[in-house]
Amino acid sequence: MADHNFDVVILGGGSGGYAAALRSAQLGKSVALIEKDKLGGTCLHRGCIPTKALLHSAEVADVVKESAAYGIESAFGSINMPVVNKYRDGIIDRLYKGLSGLVASKAITLVQGEGRMVGPKTIQVNGDNYTGANLVLASGSYSRSLPGLEIGGRVLTSEHALQLDFVPGKVIVLGGGVIGVEFASIWKSFGAEVTIIEGLNHLVPNEDESISKGLERAFRKRGIDFKLGVRFSGVEQHANGVIVSLENGEKLEAEIMLVAVGRGPNTAGLGYEENGVAMDRGYVLTNERLQTSVPGVFAAGDIVPGLQLAHRGFQQGIFIAEEIAGLNPVAIDETGIPKVTYCEPEVASVGLSEAKAAEQYGAENISTYEYNLGGNGKSQILGTAGFIKLVRRNNGPVIGVHMIGSRVGEQIGEAQLIVNWEAYPEDVATLVHAHPTMNEAIGEAHLALAGKPLHAHA
Ligand SMILES: Cc1cc2nc3c(=O)[nH]c(=O)nc-3n(C[C@H](O)[C@H](O)[C@H](O)COP(=O)(O)OP(=O)(O)OC[C@H]3O[C@@H](n4cnc5c(N)ncnc54)[C@H](O)[C@@H]3O)c2cc1C
């Protein structure tokens, strides 16, 4: 057993942990980064990157199937899943090598092994103690299930779904949140029959209601079936498939069922609570400076209540490193964090929904505007439908941007600058947006909200 001392000891090498490590090293700190699996965590190996690679293959399949409408005669053959997976794994491998090289090039000691908190500033790994002047907890999350719903066989989580080397004929997706609708979209494009079951009244229920309804219209048009406001009651597995029962008595058959009901914090048995870290239902509680109840112990990423997104984890990791270094960084505003759902069509948003804005400021003190992509040349060229919805405070800044349409995720950059820099529609209306781009639709929406619509009827 050996004792090692560092300025910063980090438990977990995912988005939150490795960002904290890289920024701490830049700031001249000695860093130990403890990881039991692969550097990069969920996002790189089992989350953001693999799913987006599959979504790109799905887009290619759709392009081939629809090519005749654009005057290109082609014949759609089949989906070769092993090749799709090889393409996906190639991307992960390259990014993993890049990240490993980056970490190796800095003053970061990568400790391979399972860590556990054994003192207020100490993590034990393989019998050795790693003590930091500061500790960062970033142990990530796992796919949750429902009480009594066992994962296994034909009942899968997203981790298992990513390993499939075939396209299922018929799938039930339990959960209409981000992960559920992304897999539904992939499988539909690959040729599966898909039914989503969502207990709440809308798909992507965390989005502005008009966007949820827009996605429901688009999915209906794509032939993706969904049942809303209905609860799952059980699943039986047999040799060739599953029978899923709903609380309304309905029974649905499929080849497999994906359980996409959210992610829980990976904190059980890691010694956090025993060492005085205040927790709530498995999540690590922090103040806005990401400081836990134990002085000098910080937490980042999915274990901290809030949006479970990789870019939030990166930003929290950077914030913590700067806080430790005494740079007094600006606290992260959670409502300013952009969200993208990468199904087809994509959904992207930042800031407050209309309902939240009305709650916060009073319905009479806000205005909204929806710009239909029907008036946007590039959207017409690409054959996508959708809209951009703005929410502003009357005589005040834009406080929410909500978008639906193919590729709108790429527009979130400008939207988040507008919301986070508290721009007025009148400010954005003076900025020139290149023609013909989808981005132009953001400019047009602001022109309209500023009272001078161009290619819009109101
Ligand atoms: C299917 C799917 C798709 C997603 N798509 C997106 C997306 O498009 N965009 C987006 O922003 N987010 C997406 N996410 C969410 C994103 O992956 C997470 O928000 C992000 O990975 C959280 O980072 P983290 O550092 O908190 O945890 P993780 O990335 O989970 O990293 C935690 C790390 O800690 C390690 N660890 C845990 N316990 C120990 C221990 N005791 N000892 C040593 N190591 C340990 C783990 O091995 C892991 O590597 C997706 C997630 C999933 C599942």
What is the CA(340)–ligand 1 centre distance, in A? 16
Give the containing element (helix H, strand E) for 369.
strand 366-372
The full length of the chain comes to: 458
- Supply the residue whose CA is at minimum distance from atom 51 of ligand 1: 47
Per-residue model confidence as pLDDT tens digits over 272-302: 999 999 999 999 999 999 999 999 999 999 9
Q: Of all residues in the chain, what percent carry a pLDDT higher than 90? A: 99
The residue type found at 369 is Y
Note the Cα 31 to chain centre separation in Å: 28
Per-residue model confidence as pLDDT tens digits over 358-400: 999 999 999 999 999 999 999 999 999 999 999 999 999 999 9
| Mean of all residue pLDDT scores within the chain | 97
What is the CA(79)–ligand 1 centre distance, in A? 28
Ligand 1 neighbour 141 (Cβ under 6 A): yes
Structure confidence at residue 458 as a pLDDT band (50, 70, 90): low
Per-residue model confidence as pLDDT tens digits over 35-48: 999 999 999 999 99
- DSSP code for 296: T
Closest atom of ligand 1 to CA, residue 116:
41
Ligand 1 neighbour 158 (Cβ under 6 A): yes
Q: Is the pTM of this model over 0.75?
A: yes
Ligand 1 neighbour 341 (Cβ under 6 A): no
Complete domains list, the chain, with CATH: 3-142+264-334 (3.50.50.60), 155-261 (3.50.50.60), 345-449 (3.30.390.30)
Closest atom of ligand 1 to CA, residue 15:
25
How far is Cα 198 from Cα 318, in angstroms, rounded to an integer?
Answer: 35
Which phi and psi angles does 235 have, rounded to 5°? -140, 140
Note the Cα 285 to chain centre separation in Å: 21
According to DSSP H, which parts of 67-157 are helical? Answer: 81-104
The predicted model gives 100-120 an average pLDDT of 97
pLDDT at 407 over 80: yes
pLDDT at 212 over 90: yes
Ligand 1 neighbour 316 (Cβ under 6 A): no
Phi-psi map region of 119: left, alpha, beta (phi>0 left; psi -120 to 50 alpha): beta
- Supply the residue whose CA is at minimum distance from atom 12 of ligand 1: 309
Per-residue model confidence as pLDDT tens digits over 136-185: 999 999 999 999 999 999 999 999 999 999 999 999 999 999 999 999 99
8 Å CB contact between 367 and 451: no
What is the CA(168)–ligand 1 centre distance, in A? 26
Per-residue model confidence as pLDDT tens digits over 58-98: 999 999 999 999 999 999 999 999 999 999 999 999 999 99
The predicted model gives 113-141 an average pLDDT of 98
Task: Please report the pLDDT score of residue 166 as a whole number.
Answer: 97
Structure confidence at residue 457 as a pLDDT band (50, 70, 90): confident
Ligand 1 neighbour 15 (Cβ under 6 A): yes
* Tokens matching residue 45: 């190996």
Ligand 1 neighbour 317 (Cβ under 6 A): no
Ligand 1 mutation target, pool 15, 33, 416, most atoms within 8 A of CB: 15
The predicted model gives 314-341 an average pLDDT of 98
Q: Are strands 31-35 and 108-112 parallel, antiparallel or unpaired?
A: parallel
On the CB side of 347, CA atoms within 13 Å amount to: 26
Task: Please report the pLDDT score of residue 1 as a whole number.
Answer: 82
* Tokens matching residue 191: 């040729």
How far is Cα 433 from Cα 211, in angstroms, rounded to an integer?
Answer: 24
Residue with tokens 């904190």: 267
Task: Please report the pLDDT score of residue 456 as a whole number.
Answer: 82
The predicted model gives 195-223 an average pLDDT of 98
